[in-house]
Structure 1
């Protein structure tokens, strides 16, 4: 770990929001910056006048550095980036780099699904008692930006809450959060990783430097995926829907209890579904370590509003319930969404592939409430071919036509669920655009 980077030469790969934030933090600390962007830099801001940069590709010039920082969207598993290791040049994630310059406690959240919601719940709980709290990472604000804010304002004992993707955890050396939590581990990003084990290993990097001075919170159902020497430690904490050893437990009548006392009535919260109840249980374990008062935990949970595009209730039209779960980009999240629907359900799935997926492993005939699957887009044809002998399936390439068909098929008291299980990039720029289009189609239909 290099604490003093004054006059050090630093190459930063990627000039999106993460690369820009890392560059500004490094520049503030006195480093000499070289930015290497694979695409054209469209909006050349004034900061670029202070540094050296290249665009439209990565050249050998980027090797002339003491440290290299890579943005999460860049895959480093190739010959070009292996030369940094050959030349003994540290190749770091932005998360690793920024952590060197923060003196604060870090709460780090990863997992295949539920990261953004859980990070947001944890942040809202902490803010009930601690003013100086940052929310960042994969959720939108780069860690480097928050660390620079911490340095410039000389905040007293702030806390960083970080949502972290597997990509952000690939290049970790010394990163050691005060609290690390892995919500769940399922199959995802097989377009980036050779197999699911490699994907899980990237996630588990979050506890690479775990020791007696920090905490690890893990989901009971994934316990077998971790080394016993880690989860048997006194500072490893189990949680889960059916956990008997957690500090907070879920009752059959949908209450969260602690020490046999009712604490939260989940029917009075705005978060729907067992997957969200798990997210709440995880958040409470984090807050408990931080010694947040129980009444403030409960107040934050009751006040919390579901995030857009994450099992978002759009409304009920002609007895049909419409749910926007556009953030669902893997089959495990789609499965959780189906299981959270209490009515007969029509699901819309498809989009752009994130690698070879066996949909029959997740979407099984035991899902008795699932009446139709409408498949759309590039990956929709694959989903259709795999599931057509198990469910009532239709393939309709165009997204809007697929949504209109789902509305047409919906009977009294049905749920129409958009939970694609795939990336959005075939017909949309991002999952937000896809979710907004779904809402627009539904609203226009019932005008």
Structure 2
């Protein structure tokens, strides 16, 4: 059994299995009403959740002088490993439970996986503990411009495009947020190595906006809005409201870039003080507009031929236009914007070509965790498709896929996981369909059904959490199965 030095300068304490914390006397809560005067030094900060964002937030709070305590009810290896990592930074934590210690705090930083109606959150609020999310917390410690990207689909692709576009002599972009690199990690790097040219490109999920107070991007970019995460938010209105919290602090010097082709989004963003800058693949007089063969600037100058854009598909064209519009507001030249459009080839786990095995093309679209993403995927393919759907349903009605399946090249559907039976019932006899237990079985079944010239598409339309910790792990597993085929 080891010992650690806690925040108390006199006492140190034994570590009990799964629990690493010193005792401290309760001080007054932190006043977070004014961002300019927030000070966590010598304050007790509890971090709820020890995933990537929780660990990064704990390290940032620790660097800012707080006495940090982390807590995660999971005992999985990665969580325990993260707790040990924090211990090496002299940060106390517990795993496998939430003890009463979590309420001995002046501030909570909560991971996006914890909903606002969780019992521990309700109890913390009753005790008057201020609660913020990791994105909010990190934003207190940087004044660098932020471009925040959200929407139901296209966020990750748009963030990656923006990151490549927003590079010039005066601007150096850094990606962060929901795409896998915590904002807190990036901000801590900036504190240690200041960079006046820095611009953050953040992917923001609805979960990350549940506990925001001062977060205010320079540019907020909305790709689209469609039903998603209804298992968490309950209603579509609540989901939209969470998305709109991203712009609640924006004023007349900030910009809301939004997809005006999405009528629900166009209606949702009305009434804010920030400047509105729409983009569209259908309407003229935008910053960049589309004719039959070219993208053109507002002045009428040809920017790029549509056939020269590297990413295929109407949805990717919309992503390109959103990123280009935001980049233009940041002063990026049209020449550099068109260069990125020519050279950007996509992101991992989004319609990613894995391999062709015995004439069958295998495509990894693991990032498709909602039905809109599945619709986009199947409508972009022009060969017979064996579609793999499944995982943990997020409240979607898979009957909504039926008209898109019937009008696409989908010939077979294989459902798997917790949602497998629900999907099979929803699809009915629209196409040949079969249910299997897991993704491994689904890939083997797809291999047996596919013929040379076909496409096997993993586009699950569900969360990964019935079997995998995230969609990346699911996609990597799918790719490993495909690569095994190439070796046999």
Give the TM-score, by structure 1 length.
0.92
Q: 2:362 aligns with which of 322, 329, 336?
A: 322
Query: Are the equivalent residues in 2 in contact too, given 1:223–1:231 (CA < 8 A)?
Result: no
1:122 aligns with 2:181: no
Q: 2:344 aligns with which of 292, 301, 304?
A: 304
Distance in 2, Cα, partners of 1:98 & 1:244 = 39
Q: 2:393 aligns with which of 323, 335, 353?
A: 353
Structure 1 residue runs of 5 or longer lacking an equivalent are none
Q: Determine the structure 2 residue equivalent to 1:14.
A: 49
Distance in 1, Cα, partners of 2:463 & 2:399 = 18
Other structure's SS at 1:84 match: helix
Query: Are the equivalent residues in 2 in contact too, given 1:184–1:219 (CA < 8 A)?
Result: yes
Q: 1:42 aligns with which of 80, 103, 127?
A: 80
Distance in 2, Cα, partners of 1:218 & 1:413 = 38
Q: 2:423 aligns with which of 361, 371, 383?
A: 383
Q: How does 1:277-316 map to 2 (within 5 A)?
A: 277-316=317-356
Q: 2:312 aligns with which of 272, 277, 297?
A: 272
User: How many equivalent pairs are there?
Assistant: 445
What per-residue deviation string (whole Å, max 9, x for no partner) do you get for residues 384-433 of structure 1?
A: 11112323222233433333333443355433221111122334443333
Query: Are the equivalent residues in 1 in contact too, given 2:421–2:435 (CA < 8 A)?
Result: yes
Distance in 1, Cα, partners of 2:119 & 2:421 = 34
Query: Are the equivalent residues in 1 in contact too, given 2:402–2:430 (CA < 8 A)?
Result: no
Alpha-carbon shift at residue 289 of structure 1 (Å)? 0.3
Distance in 2, Cα, partners of 1:141 & 1:286 = 21
Alpha-carbon shift at residue 117 of structure 1 (Å)? 1.1
Query: Are the equivalent residues in 1 in contact too, given 2:254–2:274 (CA < 8 A)?
Result: no
What per-residue deviation string (whole Å, max 9, x for no partner) do you get for residues 189-217 of structure 1?
A: 22322222222211111111122010001
Distance in 1, Cα, partners of 2:356 & 2:92 = 54
What root-mean-square deviation, in Å, do the aligned CA atoms of Structure 1 and Structure 2 show?
2.4
Alpha-carbon shift at residue 46 of structure 1 (Å)? 5.8
1:142 aligns with 2:197: no
Query: Are the equivalent residues in 1 in contact too, given 2:355–2:482 (CA < 8 A)?
Result: no
Distance in 1, Cα, partners of 2:267 & 2:450 = 47
Residues 294 and 171 (structure 1 numbering): CA distance in 2 closer, same or farther, change over 3 Å? same
Q: Determine the structure 2 residue equivalent to 1:409.
A: 449
Q: How does 1:25-424 map to 2 (within 5 A)?
A: 25-40=60-75, 41-43=79-81, 44-45=84-85, 47=87, 50-130=90-170, 132-225=172-265, 230=270, 235-253=275-293, 255-259=294-298, 260-317=300-357, 320-354=360-394, 356-364=395-403, 366-411=406-451, 413-424=453-464
Q: 1:23 aligns with which of 34, 58, 72?
A: 58
Query: Are the equivalent residues in 1 in contact too, given 2:148–2:217 (CA < 8 A)?
Result: yes
> Which stretch has the larger CA shift, 29-38 or 259-268?
259-268
Residues 326 and 157 (structure 1 numbering): CA distance in 2 closer, same or farther, change over 3 Å? same
Residues 322 and 269 (structure 1 numbering): CA distance in 2 closer, same or farther, change over 3 Å? farther
Residues 58 and 438 (structure 1 numbering): CA distance in 2 closer, same or farther, change over 3 Å? closer
Query: Are the equivalent residues in 2 in contact too, given 1:327–1:431 (CA < 8 A)?
Result: yes
1:3 aligns with 2:43: no
Query: Are the equivalent residues in 1 in contact too, given 2:222–2:258 (CA < 8 A)?
Result: yes
Query: Are the equivalent residues in 1 in contact too, given 2:256–2:274 (CA < 8 A)?
Result: no
Alpha-carbon shift at residue 228 of structure 1 (Å)? 7.2
Structure 2 residue runs of 5 or longer lacking an equivalent are 1-34
Distance in 1, Cα, partners of 2:164 & 2:393 = 34
Distance in 2, Cα, partners of 1:25 & 1:309 = 30
Alpha-carbon shift at residue 110 of structure 1 (Å)? 0.9
